[in-house]
Structure 1
């Protein structure tokens, strides 16, 4: 049952972070398909967590923490990095697929 919940939570997390990344991305990036939004969100969550951990490490009050648990409590700044990473990926995906708004 653990694997099923991991997959479900990963997809929901990807959906939420992907939509937030779309909202933060500059210009009109709403034309990419839902599955690509989820992929951008999942990859953005992983990349954002990794970058945050690589730059800031683990807080002093959380010995034994890892990339997904950098401080005690909610890691708000890590989530900001995740959304920012997803926004960059949404822009890249829209550029590669040619689905961005070309009205300039």
Structure 2
């Protein structure tokens, strides 16, 4: 992966992670770096899942259906990480 690819993955992960956090009700007590990590994982898994269920992911422009899948996965990931992070009693 190139440096540009890594930077783009971080930026997309940040956006997807923040959108996933926004769709969840209430407050999530996790640090922003963890939101970015969850967003990056959700973006990668969301793309793979979108391809697996037949959503086109190689279009010219924004792939809205793929983005929706990624945000849903990010919301689930943030909810899981937030509950596990909060149980430990560690606050960022």
TM range (shorter): 0.7 to 0.9
Query: Between Structure 1 and Structure 2, which shows a larger proportion of helix residues?
Result: 2
Distance change >3 Å, CA 27–CA 51, structure 1 → 2: same
Q: RMSD of the TM alignment (CA)?
A: 1.8
Which ranges in structure 1 are unaligned for 5 or more consecutive residues?
Answer: 59-67, 100-104
Distance in 1 between residues matched to 2:61 and 2:12, nearest whole Å = 18
Does residue 1:11 correspond to 2:18, yes or no?
Answer: no
Match of 1:28 in 2: 27
TM-score normalized with structure 1 length = 0.74
Cα distance, 1:27 vs structure 2: 2.7
* Partner in structure 1 of residue 70 of structure 2: 82
- Runs (4+) of structure 1 exceeding 4 A deviation are none
Partner of 2:90: none
TM-score normalised by the chain length of structure 2: 0.83
